[in-house]
C-alpha cells in the first residue's frame, strides 16, 4: 500500500473547521488499497444490485474491514468482486486516455518496508530477481535485488501468494494472486487466480483459477513450462470446493483439481522432483476462520505424495505427526542436489512449533531432527508463517523461516538463529541462489533482506514502496507532515514530505492515527486490540490513553477512534461500547451499553464496533 498526495484548491478543511481554512490548499491522502476497496464496493452495488447474501451469518468474518465492503449484504460475492475489479480497470484506462485525472505525487515511504510473501530469482542469472508483496504486486530487479521496479500493476489483484519461474525457461513466470498467510485478527486480501508472463514479467496474461482465493505455492514441470501445479487454500471464511492441488497441461488454459481432501482443507505448499517431475509432495492444511474463532489445524492436515504427475496420491505418515492436535500448517521442501532428501516443518493445531522432519528415502520414512533449539521458532502463531528452504547445492544446509530465521549446516543435527537484532520478525520467504549459495534473499513482514555470506549477516533494502497502511493522516498546520498506521510496522511519519525519511513513532501494528487540526501537539496512535496512546509534543513521545476504558470489553483488531467534528478536544472510541473523552483522551467515559448482539462464544473477539 502506497501513499500519494494530490494538490488541489478547496473550501473546507477537516469537516466543520471551515472558517479557519479558507483560501488554503490541502494534501489529500489516499492509499491505493483503500481506493480499490471503495471502487470495488461501489461497483458491486452498481452492477450487482440484485445480489442476495451467499452464506449463513456464521460464515462471515467479524472484522469491520470485511463488513464495510460487503454492506448492505452479509457476504461479498466473489464473482461480483472480480467483475468490479474488471470495471475499475476499464475506468482507469478511460480516465487515463481522457487526460482528466488529477496529478498525483508519490509520498512514500520507501524506507519503512512491508510484508513480502515470496522472493524468487532467475536460476541462470544472478542479476534478475522477483518479489511478491502481500498486497503490493510483483517487483523486478536486474541488479541482484538492490533496486526494484513494479511489473504487475495492471493486474486485477495486487495480493500475491506465490511466484514461480519455469526451470526450462525462466522468462516464463506464473504468479498466484491471493496471500495464503492467515492472520490472527488481521485479514489477507483474496486474489483472482493465476497470471502468466512469457517475457520475464514485461507483459501478463490471465491464466484462470478465478475462485482459488488464496494461493500458497506454484511449481512448474522442468520438462514442459505448460505443465504447472498450484496449491490453493480457497475461501478463508467459508467451506468451499475450490481447494487443493490444481494442474494445467496447457499453460493455464484449463485446470484440473488433482488433489482434494475436504471443503475445509486446502493446499498450502507443493514441491516437485527436479529430475523426475512426475513426483510431487503436497502439504494440506485444514483452515477455516469463523466470526468468533479460528480453526487452523486438525485431522485432515498432512503430506501427500504422487508418483504419476498428480493422477493419484497417498498420504505419508511413517514418522510424521498423526494426532489431530499435532497437525497445523505444514511446510515442505525437496533437495535439488539429492532429491531423495525431503524436509517438512509442522505447526501444531494451536500454532506452536511441532518439529522439523527429514526423509532420505523419497518420503517413505521420516525422522524428527534435533530441533529443540527451534521450540520458539513459531512463537505461538505458526499459521502466519511455516516454510523451510533446502540449499540447492548442499542438502545439509537448510533454513527454517518462522518468527526468526534459523539455519542448520549439518542436516538438522543442530540449528542456529540467523536473524540477529537487525532482521524484522515474521519470515515468509527465502531464496538461495544455485550459482552461489552464499547469496540469499529473505522476505518478511519488514520487507527484503540480502545476504552475501550465506545468512550470517543481512542488509535491509530501503527502496521498496510496499507498506500496508490501514489509515493515513496529515498535520493540517504542517501539511508535509504525513502519518500512517501500518500493518506489521507500527505508526510512521515523515516531517518533511520526503519519500525516504519516514520514521517509526509508535506501536506494534499501526492503525488509527489522528493529529489535532487545531493543536498539532496532540497526536493519537494505536496498536492492535484498542491499545490507544497520545502525544502532547507532536508525536515525539507517547503515553497510554485508555484510562476509563474497561479491559473487560471486546476490542476489534483495529478499534475506531475519531474526533468530534466540532471540537477536537472531544474524541470517541469504540470497543463493543462507545466511549467519549472531553479532555484530549486523558480519560474516557462510557456513554453506551453493549451496542452489539453480545459476545457469543469462541476464542476471538466478536461483535465489536
Q: What local confidence, expressed as pLDDT, does residue 100 receive?
A: 60
Task: Report residues of the chain scoring pLDDT below 50.
Answer: 1, 4-62
Assigned domain for 606 exists: no
In a shared domain, residues 118 and 132 = yes
Q: What local confidence, expressed as pLDDT, does residue 604 receive?
A: 67
Dihedral sign for Cα atoms in the order 319, 324, 326, 331: positive
Assigned domain for 605 exists: no
Q: What is the DSSP string of 349-391?
A: TTS-EEEEEEESSTTSS-EE-S-GGGTTTTTT-TTS--EEEE-
Q: What local confidence, expressed as pLDDT, does residue 599 receive?
A: 67
Q: What local confidence, expressed as pLDDT, does residue 531 receive?
A: 96
Assigned domain for 596 exists: no
Assigned domain for 170 exists: yes
In a shared domain, residues 83 and 117 = no
Phi, psi of 37 (to 5 degrees): -65, -45
Assigned domain for 364 exists: yes
Q: Which of 245, 224, 226 is nearest to 303 (CA)?
A: 245
In a shared domain, residues 455 and 486 = no
In a shared domain, residues 213 and 333 = yes
In a shared domain, residues 79 and 132 = no
Report d(CA 320, CA 367) in Å as an integer.
8
Strand intervals (E) in 383-426: 387-390, 398-401, 405-408, 416-417
pLDDT in tens, 40-77: 433 333 333 333 333 333 344 445 666 677 777 777 77
Assigned domain for 609 exists: no
Strand intervals (E) in 178-279: 194-197, 205-206, 215-220, 228-232, 244-248, 256-259, 265-272
Q: 548 vs 82, 385, 464, 582, CA distance in Å? A: 44, 37, 41, 12
Assigned domain for 214 exists: yes
In a shared domain, residues 289 and 414 = yes
In a shared domain, residues 156 and 16 = no
Pick from 460, 479, 514: which residue ends a domain? 460
Q: What local confidence, expressed as pLDDT, does residue 72 receive?
A: 74
Q: What local confidence, expressed as pLDDT, does residue 187 receive?
A: 64
What's the predicted TM-score (pTM) here?
0.88
In a shared domain, residues 383 and 473 = no
Residues ≥6 apart with Cβ < 8 Å to 133: 114, 115, 116, 117, 139, 158, 160, 464, 466
Domain count, the chain: 2
In a shared domain, residues 268 and 168 = yes
Classify the phi-psi angles of 99: left when phi > 0, otherwise alpha if psi is within -120 to 50, otherwise beta.
left
Assigned domain for 98 exists: yes
Pick from 443, 460, 477: which residue ends a domain? 460
CATH for 337: 2.130.10.10
Pick from 391, 425, 460: which residue ends a domain? 460
Q: What local confidence, expressed as pLDDT, does residue 19 receive?
A: 33
In a shared domain, residues 37 and 61 = yes
Query: How long a stretch of residues is the chain?
Result: 609
pLDDT in tens, 18-44: 233 323 323 333 333 333 343 343 333
Range of the domain at 520: 3-107+467-590
Q: What local confidence, expressed as pLDDT, does residue 28 receive?
A: 35
In a shared domain, residues 549 and 430 = no
Q: What local confidence, expressed as pLDDT, does residue 596 receive?
A: 83
In a shared domain, residues 292 and 241 = yes
Amino acid at each position: 500500500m502506497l501513499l500519494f498526495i494530490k494538490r488541489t484548491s478547496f473550501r473546507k478543511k477537516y469537516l466543520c473547521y471551515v472558517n479557519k481554512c479558507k483560501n488554503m490548499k490541502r494534501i489529500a491522502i489516499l492509499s491505493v488499497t483503500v481506493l480499490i476497496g471503495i471502487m470495488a464496493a461501489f461497483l458491486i452495488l452498481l452492477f450487482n444490485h440484485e445480489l442476495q447474501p451467499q452464506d449463513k451469518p456464521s460464515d462471515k468474518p467479524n472484522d469491520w474491514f470485511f463488513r464495510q465492503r460487503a454492506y448492505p449484504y452479509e457476504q461479498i460475492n466473489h464473482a461480483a468482486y472480480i467483475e468490479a475489479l474488471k470495471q475499475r480497470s476499464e475506468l482507469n484506462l478511460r480516465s487515463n486516455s481522457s487526460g482528466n485525472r488529477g496529478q498525483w505525487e508519490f509520498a512514500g515511504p520507501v524506507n519503512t518496508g512491508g510484508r513480502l510473501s515470496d522472493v524468487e530469482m532467475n536460476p541462470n542469472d544472478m542479476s534478475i530477481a522477483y518479489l511478491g508483496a502481500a498486497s503490493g504486486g510483483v517487483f523486478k530487479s536486474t541488479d541482484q535485488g538492490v533496486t526494484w521496479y513494479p511489473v504487475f500493476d495492471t493486474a486485477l489483484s495486487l495480493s500475491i501468494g506465490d511466484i514461480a519461474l519455469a526451470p526450462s525457461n525462466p522468462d516464463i513466470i506464473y504468479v498466484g494472486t491471493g496471500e495464503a498467510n492467515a492472520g490472527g485478527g488481521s485479514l489477507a486480501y483474496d486474489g483472482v487466480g493465476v497470471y502468466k508472463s512469457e517475457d520475464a514479467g514485461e507483459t501478463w496474461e490471465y491464466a484462470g483459477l478465478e475462485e482459488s482465493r488464496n494461493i500458497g505455492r506454484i511449481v512448474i514441470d522442468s520438462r514442459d513450462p505448460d505443465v504447472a501445479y498450484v496449491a490453493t487454500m480457497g475461501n478463508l471464511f467459508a467451506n468451499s470446493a475450490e481447494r487443493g492441488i490444481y494442474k494445467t497441461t496447457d499453460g493455464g488454459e484449463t485446470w484440473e483439481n488433482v488433489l482434494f481432501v475436504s471443503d475445509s482443507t486446502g493446499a498450502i505448499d507443493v514441491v516437485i522432483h527436479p529430475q523426475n517431475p512426475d513426483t510431487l509432495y503436497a502439504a494440506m492444511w485444514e483452515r477455516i476462520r469463523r466470526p468468533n474463532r479460528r480453526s487452523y489445524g486438525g485431522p485432515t492436515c498432512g503430506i501427500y505424495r504422487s508418483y504419476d504427475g498428480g493422477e493419484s496420491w497417498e498420504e505419508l505418515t511413517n514418522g510424521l505427526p498423526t494426532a489431530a492436535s499435532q497437525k497445523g500448517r505444514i511446510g515442505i521442501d525437496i533437495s535439488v542436489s539429492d532429491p531423495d532428501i525431503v524436509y517438512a516443518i509442522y505447526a501444531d493445531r494451536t500454532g506452536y512449533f511441532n518439529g522439523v522432519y527429514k526423509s532420505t528415502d523419497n518420503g517413505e520414512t521420516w525422522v524428527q531432527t534435533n530441533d529443540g533449539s527451534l521450540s520458539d521458532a513459531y512463537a505461538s502463531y505458526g499459521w502466519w508463517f511455516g516454510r523451510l528452504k533446502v540449499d540447492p547445492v548442499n542438502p545439509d544446509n537448510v533454513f527454517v523461516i518462522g518468527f526468526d530465521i534459523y539455519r542448520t549446516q549439518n542436516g538438522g543435527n543442530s540449528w542456529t538463529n540467523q536473524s540477529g537484532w537487525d532482521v524484522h520478525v515474521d519470515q515468509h520467504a527465502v531464496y538461495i541462489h544455485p550459482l552461489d549459495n552464499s547469496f540469499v534473499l529473505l522476505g518478511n513482514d519488514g520487507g527484503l533482506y540480502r545476504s552475501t555470506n550465506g545468512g550470517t549477516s543481512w542488509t535491509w533494502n530501503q527502496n521498496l514502496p510496499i507498506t500496508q497502511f490501514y489509515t493515513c493522516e496529515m498535520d493540517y498546520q504542517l501539511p508535509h507532515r504525513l502519518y500512517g498506521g501500518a500493518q506489521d510496522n507500527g505508526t510512521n511519519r515523515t516531517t518533511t514530505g520526503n519519500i525516504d525519511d519516514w520514521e517509526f513513532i509508535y506501536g506494534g501494528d499501526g492503525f488509527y492515527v489522528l493529529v489535532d487540526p487545531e493543536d498539532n501537539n496532540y497526536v493519537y496512535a494505536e496498536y492492535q486490540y484498542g491499545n490507544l496512546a497520545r502525544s502532547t509534543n507532536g508525536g515525539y513521545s507517547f503515553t497510554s490513553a485508555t484510562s476509563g476504558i474497561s479491559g473487560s470489553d471486546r476490542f476489534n483488531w483495529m478499534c475506531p477512534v475519531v474526533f468530534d467534528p466540532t471540537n477536537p478536544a472531544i474524541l470517541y472510541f469504540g470497543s463493543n461500547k462507545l466511549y467519549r473523552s472531553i479532555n484530549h483522551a486523558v480519560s474516557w467515559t462510557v456513554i453506551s451499553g453493549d451496542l452489539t448482539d453480545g459476545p457469543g462464544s469462541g476464542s476471538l473477539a466478536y461483535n465489536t464496533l
